[in-house]
């Protein structure tokens, strides 16, 4: 083992209480104690890693030496994919040096599934926000996974870059307010919101994230995820009252995919929740705009923007379904009321 004069970089101890930063040329001149980082090999323990030492100005080691980062391959932080994904199998990845290829769970023809179990894990959510599959957010997940745990990376990447659009949709027609849903903070941090997707293992078709319901239906892995993991996720929360499926392909998937002969839509509806289709947060801004309009504003809007007319029919259907569900729910007597 090396001595104390390792020549490793000195790191100022932030808890030393001194407001003045030590002169970098004389790192030992100011701090009472300093942290020293050095590469250490301890073959006697089969360890190789970085060693942090706390030392006094005289260089004397005063605290217990601590191995913070162990670099031996058999001690790397291995992630077992099946702990987080319905189809992880026996696959593992190394948290610190995985490649995008390592995240690929299944390849079948032009379709592939990528490990990307996006979403949060609240205890008793009332609203589920359901994407189709993680799409481009799977890349954000892979980035976060380099320095966060799987659950934290999955939570942070869920609906990344789309929160303001989703909040606008949830605020439309007073929906969020009517159910007492706060939109002030990050959606993934809300105790009332469960974020997830139909196919959680990210589905890619021809290397792209564009997919339609038939492509989900054509992928046994994607169907497996919807039929097993998604339905189980929803059943896990008896507190859920609202399930919001984003986009046309997501809606087509829940209404057309059957599990043991029963459409997914009927299965989740049968759990006593309202199942709604909202415009997709990243596609068809025209559909979002029309969805958010008050019915009385619609004629004027379409007169000014005739090119948006082709989006009106679906947007109106989504809006009417939301308004009808809000009316239905508000007439349901609240427990203990």
List residues binding Zn ion (CB under 5 A). Answer: 86, 200-201, 225, 229
* Nearer residue to Zn ion within complex by CB, 112 or 274: 112
Query: Is-contact 205 111, C-beta < 8 A?
Result: yes
Q: Measured from the CB of residue 102, what is the shortest distance to Zn ion in angstroms?
A: 17
Q: Measured from the CB of residue 40, what is the shortest distance to Zn ion in angstroms?
A: 41
* Nearer residue to Zn ion within complex by CB, 200 or 204: 200
> DSSP per residue over 212-258, as a string?
-HHHHHT-HHHHHIIIIIIHHHHHT-TT--EEEEESHHHHHHHHH-E
* Nearer residue to Zn ion within complex by CB, 191 or 220: 220
Structure-block tokens of residue 147: 């320095």
Q: Measured from the CB of residue 202, what is the shortest distance to Zn ion in angstroms?
A: 9
Q: Measured from the CB of residue 239, what is the shortest distance to Zn ion in angstroms?
A: 23
Q: How far apart are CA 46 and CA 48, in angstroms?
A: 7
* Nearer residue to Zn ion within complex by CB, 57 or 89: 89
Structure-block tokens of residue 54: 């706390």
Q: How far apart are CA 320 and CA 298, in angstroms?
A: 13
Q: How far apart are CA 279 and CA 258, in angstroms?
A: 23
* Nearer residue to Zn ion within complex by CB, 224 or 308: 224
* Nearer residue to Zn ion within complex by CB, 203 or 290: 203
Q: Which residue has the tokens 């808890």?
A: 15
Q: Measured from the CB of residue 250, what is the shortest distance to Zn ion in angstroms?
A: 15
Give the nearest residue (CB) to Zn ion.
225
Q: Which residues contact 330 (CB under 8 A, 6 or more apart)?
A: 178
Q: Measured from the CB of residue 196, what is the shortest distance to Zn ion in angstroms?
A: 10
Structure-block tokens of residue 214: 């038939």
């Amino acid at each position: 083992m090396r001595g104390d004069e390792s020549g490793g970089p000195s790191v100022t101890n932030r808890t030393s209480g001194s407001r003045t930063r030590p002169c970098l040329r004389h790192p030992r001149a100011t701090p009472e104690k300093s942290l020293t980082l050095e590469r250490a090999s301890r073959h006697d323990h089969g360890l190789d890693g970085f060693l942090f030492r706390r030392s006094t100005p005289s260089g004397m080691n005063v605290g217990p030496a601590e191995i913070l980062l162990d670099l031996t391959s058999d001690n790397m932080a291995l992630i077992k994919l099946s702990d987080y994904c319905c189809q992880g199998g026996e696959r593992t990845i190394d948290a610190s040096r995985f490649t995008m290829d390592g995240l690929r769970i299944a390849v079948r023809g032009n379709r592939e599934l990528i490990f990307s179990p996006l979403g949060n894990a609240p205890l008793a959510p009332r609203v589920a926000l359901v994407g189709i599959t993680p799409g481009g957010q799977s890349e954000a997940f892979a980035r976060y996974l380099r320095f966060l745990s799987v659950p934290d990376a999955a939570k942070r990447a869920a609906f990344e870059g789309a929160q303001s659009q989703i909040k606008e949709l949830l605020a439309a027609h007073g929906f969020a307010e009517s159910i007492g849903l706060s939109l002030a903070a990050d959606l993934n941090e809300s105790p009332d919101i469960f974020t997830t997707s139909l196919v959680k293992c990210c589905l890619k078709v021809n290397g792209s994230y564009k997919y339609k319901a038939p492509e989900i239906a054509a992928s046994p892995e994607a169907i497996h995820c919807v039929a097993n993991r998604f339905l189980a996720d929803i059943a896990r929360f008896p507190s859920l009252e609202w399930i919001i499926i984003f986009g046309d392909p997501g809606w087509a998937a829940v209404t057309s995919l059957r599990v043991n002969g029963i459409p997914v839509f009927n299965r989740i509806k049968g759990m006593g929740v309202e199942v709604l289709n909202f415009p997709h947060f990243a596609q068809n801004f025209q559909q979002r705009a029309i969805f958010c309009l008050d019915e009385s504003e619609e004629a004027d809007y379409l007169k000014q923007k005739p090119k948006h007319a082709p989006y009106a029919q679906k947007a109106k259907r989504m809006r009417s379904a939301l308004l009808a569900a809000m009316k239905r729910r508000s007439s349901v007597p609240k427990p203990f009321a």
